[in-house]
Each structure stands twice: as C-alpha cells, then as structure tokens.
Amino acid sequence: MNDSPDSPVALEDAAATVHLAEQAVRAARRQLSMAIVAAYQTGEPVASIAARAGKEPYQVRNLLDAAGLRARR
C-alpha cells in the first residue's frame, strides 16, 4: 500500500477520516443542544447556559426557539 499524499489510497483514507470526523461533530452538536435544552428546562438562565457552553446568549435563544421553547429574557 502506497500512503504518499498523492496516492489514491491516501486520498480515500483522508476522505473517510473527514467523514467520520463530520459525523462526530454532528453527534457532539446534538448532545450540546440537548444539554442546553435540559439546562433551560430546569430553570437555568440563558446567560448562564451560554457562559457554560461557550456560546453567546443569542445563540442559546436561537437554539431554544428552534427547539420550540420560548426563551426567557
């Protein structure tokens, strides 16, 4: 097997690695979204959730709106 950067095998391997990484990112985003919704449903303020999640409050409010929840201001 030739793993030089210009070999077809290296390209296919790299593409497969990227695909797996993209799947992992999607799963992590879903998990974060579920955790944000759960924190909000337990009464945690949006600003606190945003700080803990490394997000801006508007991002958390948008996520909650998309989840069908009306974010408290």
10-69 pLDDT, tens digit per residue, is 999 999 999 999 999 999 999 999 999 999 999 999 999 999 999 999 999 999 999 999
pLDDT at 71: 64
DSSP 3-state of 19: helix
Give every CB contact of residue 60 below 8 A, 6+ residues apart in sequence: 36, 40, 46, 49, 50, 53, 71
pLDDT at 9: 83
Full domain range(s) for residue 28? 8-66
Say which residue the tokens 């409050």 belong to: 57
Does residue 22 form part of some domain? yes
Does residue 1 form part of some domain? no
Which is more confidently placed, 8 or 31?
A: 31
Domain count, the chain: 1
Does residue 19 form part of some domain? yes
pLDDT at 32: 98
- As a residue count, the chain comes to 73
User: For the packed helices 8-41 and 57-66, what is the interaxial angle rounded to 10 degrees?
Assistant: 90
The two structure tokens encoding residue 72: 């408290």
